[in-house]
Structure 1
């Protein structure tokens, strides 16, 4: 079975989003896993999620991902101006850190990583988000 989890790095939260992935205005990372029947549990609404033991491993990996990307998360959260190449480099580092953190837990079989939502790639001072407006 395939199961997709959405990582909201700015809110330091994750959500199960299988089978439909919502459209988002914030930067999200979708991780799709393949899992055996014994690794899946169901909520009271009959929605699939990782079984408790596997979810603990995922939470540990997620904590490592958050720690490894603290600087970039802060820059995204504060809408800091970065050069285009800086964004691309840091997004590449983010993906690498996700893959490496997940690989430490053999029960987590990651098969796909997607960036979704609003990821900045090019921004000038005029494009700076002013949340007071």
Structure 2
């Protein structure tokens, strides 16, 4: 079974989104895993999620991803101006950290990583988000 998890670095939260991935205005990472039947549990609403032991491993990997990418997530959260190459370098580092962190746990069989939502690649001062508007 395939199980997709949405990683929100700005909120430092993750959500199960299988099978439908929602459209988002915030930068999200979708990580899709191949899970055996014994690795999956179901909520009271009959939605799939990792079984407790696997979820512990995923939480450990997720916390590592958040720690490794703290500087970039802070820049995104504060809408800090970065050069286009800095965004691309940080996004590549982010993807690499998702892969590396999940590979440390054999029960997490990562099969796909996607960037979704609003990831800046180019921005000038005039393009900064004004949250007061």
TM-score (norm 1): 0.99
CA deviations over 1:59-109 (Å, ceiling 9, x no partner): 000000000001001000000010000000000000001100000000000
Please give the secondary structure, in 1, of the residue aligned with 2:32.
Answer: strand
TM-score (norm 2): 0.99
CA deviations over 1:18-40 (Å, ceiling 9, x no partner): 00000000000000000000000
| Shift in Å, 1:44 | 0.3
Q: Quote the Cα distance in structure 2 between the aligned partners of 1:47 and 1:132.
A: 37
The aligned counterpart of 1:103 is: 103
| Shift in Å, 1:17 | 0.2
**2:22 matches 1:7:** no
The aligned counterpart of 1:17 is: 17
5+ residue gaps, structure 1:
none
1:1-133 to structure 2, matched below 5 A, reads 1-133=1-133
Q: Quote the Cα distance in structure 2 between the aligned partners of 1:70 and 1:83.
A: 18
